Amino acid sequence: MLRLIISLNINSITNELGDSIIGSNFIYLDETTSTMDVARKYSNDSLNDGLVVFAEHQTNARGRLGRDWISEQNQNITFSILVYPNPEMINQLTILSSVIIARFLESIQLNPQIKWPNDVLVNNKKIAGILVESLFQENNPTCAIIGIGLNVNFFPSVESTNGKIATSISHELGHTIDRSIILIDLLKQFNNFYTEEDSWESIFEYWNQHLVTLGQNITIQTNNQIQITGIAESVNKSGALKIKKENGDIEYIDYGEII
């Protein structure tokens, strides 16, 4: 299919961001291995706080649990943000990212759902993926890299999504959309939280309300490959999912993948 290649206008994006910490440094690449790797190279200097690395094409993009992330060149939004938050905030970044994306989707009249912990769906199809990597010094987290992949103008086919069901903003809206507008909105929202203009309580409440997982009978694969099946009842204050198993036992899962 013939596709228009429209590059991002980084000057207009950074102008629009004004004195935002997030995006105060901006690297825009045509191609790289993974924006996570590029951001990591800058992580030994906290002067790079808020650095955004955006790539039109990644040759080795990674997702959660060792999967890859497929994204068509120049059609989508794929970037990483390097941040130096306090330890409490580091733990909030995955939930935060899903809420920021969902809020944007709602602002353009889409109906976002969040699949625990942080997959963003529209019409039950994945539209965005989030990967947060924390970096440590002597067992203490020093900084984090937030990676976002958001399907914007690509037409999802089974081949382009590795057989998984995916969708994109343009597919749901029926028309293409300017990626700059989306990026500016997301970065401003990240900045509002980072500078504490936006509260954790409002983020958590939104997340809880948009979790489609609650009430469902699910199977979760934890990171040590154990599968747990039961009803997803609720989430606790730290985001762990409370599961009621068939035998009535309750289990709280901090990290895993609903399969």
Determine phi and psi for 125, rounding to 5 degrees: -120, 140
Single out the residue of 245, 239, 252 nearest to residue 117, CA to CA. 239
Closer residue to ligand BTN, CB minimum distance, 83 or 230: 83
Residue 69 engages ligand BTN in binding (rule: CB under 6 A):
yes
Are 149 and 61 spatial neighbours (Cβ–Cβ below 8 Å)? yes
Q: What is the enclosing helix (H) or strand (E) of 205?
A: helix 200-210
Residue 117 engages ligand BTN in binding (rule: CB under 6 A):
no
Facing residues of 234 across strands?
242
Task: State in angstroms the smallest separation of the CB of 171 from ligand BTN.
Answer: 18
Residue with tokens 């800058």: 42
Length of the chain: 259
What residues between 136 and 155 interact with ligand BTN by CB under 6 A?
Answer: 147-149
Residue 115 engages ligand BTN in binding (rule: CB under 6 A):
no
Residue 112 engages ligand BTN in binding (rule: CB under 6 A):
no
Residue with tokens 């293409």: 176
Q: What is the pairing mode between strands 52-55 and 26-29?
A: parallel
Question: Which residue of 27, 51, 61, 235 would you call a contact of ligand BTN, by CB under 6 A?
Answer: 61
Closer residue to ligand BTN, CB minimum distance, 167 or 230: 167
Task: State in angstroms the smallest separation of the CB of 50 from ligand BTN.
Answer: 16
Closer residue to ligand BTN, CB minimum distance, 102 or 130: 130
What's the CA gap between 98 and 113, in Å, rounded?
9
Residue 90 engages ligand BTN in binding (rule: CB under 6 A):
no
Closer residue to ligand BTN, CB minimum distance, 182 or 230: 182
Q: What is the pairing mode between strands 217-222 and 256-258?
A: antiparallel
What residues between 17 and 46 interact with ligand BTN by CB under 6 A?
Answer: 34-36
Examine residue 156 and say whether the peptide bond preceding it is cis (omega within 30 degrees of 0). no
Closer residue to ligand BTN, CB minimum distance, 130 or 184: 130
Are 51 and 133 spatial neighbours (Cβ–Cβ below 8 Å)? no
* Piece of the chain touching ligand BTN by CB under 6 A; list 20-28, 58-66, 85-93, 95-103: 58-66
What residues between 197 and 226 interact with ligand BTN by CB under 6 A?
Answer: none
- Number of chain positions touching ligand BTN (CB under 6 A): 19
Facing residues of 120 across strands?
114, 128
Residues of this chain that interact with ligand BTN (CB under 6 A) are 34-36, 58, 61-64, 67, 69, 78-80, 129-131, 147-149
